[in-house]
Structure 1
């Protein structure tokens, strides 16, 4: 429904009715995310996008400029609760078996909550997922990284190539998050299969989505029962204790919180390590300097990788509770907002004409890859630490690492959400 005219924006932009905001059909498989993000930027600062599986006329809204996404993310008129504030959902327009529902609605973790419930749950989780706890993981992360490096040669194919994504980038964060959460070895392949099913958007059916939902709930219940019967020093045991002490939080919220930690704690870092290695292997001038890298140089590589090749394509950013004017347009109440968290890192308004260049030496690595505002990712320090250690140890052990195929022959994971190549084939020497 077209919104009523809104007053002019402070920057003097002309007011645009909702019906005149461009509608863009995006690739549900994310085959070329940065080209698509550039197309969205070219369409304007505010766009409507067509999500797969939704009826005609039900669009999501997105802003294509970094500062506008930050502005929306801090706007008190934006909610994370779809059931109350997404008009299309309230009106019964969203199919009950929408395969992408698990990424947009329905969960009860803090990602999908507003204050004061969000603040209460975030305080509880951050009370056990502390900065000290993350720092204390440094030695364990280094061991996990080196264990993965020890086995890399065993995964060489007949031509001598190793898929670094599958056998290193995956192994490190999965090992770390499972150690942190107390997930035993036999459960780990099941968790990875469920996360993969959630993230991939190729040929997903309602039956697939329902099976994923049932599978994650059963597996998480199994984990909670295991750690409740045999508590340890892991985060799951501490969260169970915190839930039991509080006494007001439902079991489903505990399960959904653990799921958030598994997905965010694994998938984000998995993709970040892969993309950072790809960036270094395709920029020989930067690669040549690696032997002289300091701690700060590696930290800059991590930040530039997050900016230049962010881990997330599209992710829910909230729902408008009232009409929200932004950059001359008015987003009506009751609309789904989707954040281009990785894509806005190449915003030329922020990073100038070289925004599309990978350059760890740039002065400003500003990005929103971990979100912004009240919902900023709690696991960001852990992801940075894991990636820095993984990169440093990898290139120390294998200084002659190289891709076995041209970078433009790498294909993306078929996903609306994650930005990562399917494989990263390399030779170790």
Structure 2
């Protein structure tokens, strides 16, 4: 069995890391490979760079990142030492969202690098007010990591396209594999009853970026103008104290490491009818895979890598970023008649079964790893 060195910065069993993706990638790879975590714990180094960032931000009023060349070289040096001590016993090194460690590693072991975005597309999208040094360093680290990899896996075409157009990476070594759902599959086929109360589900931990304001506007519009009654469940956020809770259930944060919270999250997906997430910035969105798993039609914005998860007019709708609650409500009203709803729900489940699950992901990843092993490093 091939042995994979899985290069991470935290415990692979922590389901809160990257929304559970580090954990699920580790588990799915372990089905076909011997996977050994390589934990790059550098607490002292991380603290030093954190303090350095804070001081710089206070002095210059500019934000910074840990995507510094010096930090990356130190991370890679630690990894180089681990690999030398192990006798480079791995067939492949797998770097999930860890360009900092991948950039300057010096090894003959083939490298697979995985991410949901490039550093470049994150500027003024997730990362704001960066100083020029951080942007220069971040792009340098990102380019080195992409060039150092034998094969690259992205979670969307959006990320792939930027790697090609901005960083000049060879398209032949880039693969698009959408992420699967980070919940277990307890799907119950959806039904539709005319004029029944419809349950909308929102999952997100950032009020502004995830568009909680738009979701609440949408709910108000629906209940004022629709024949049906609508309720909204919000997972991940607390009521700021100003929201009328007659039709809104603020669940708060649910920790997937806690079995009770985990079961609650599954129950909310099972009991919901439509998934709404007016997110203004999204690299991929595991929640879209989870919504599809439970057969929920999806209404969201058209941004980032979402088009790899939500097909317009098939399993949901992607609205332009200038649209507001009324526009989301109109799409939901369109979906909420019997034939249309059942079609969208079926399409959503089919989308999950055909592409948005980890078993399908693994099938394609197996081919990526085979390609990786066939390519001699330095001849890309």
One fold, TM greater than 0.5? no
Greater relative contact order, per chain length (Cα 8 Å cut-off, separation 6+): 1
TM-score when normalising by structure 1: 0.26
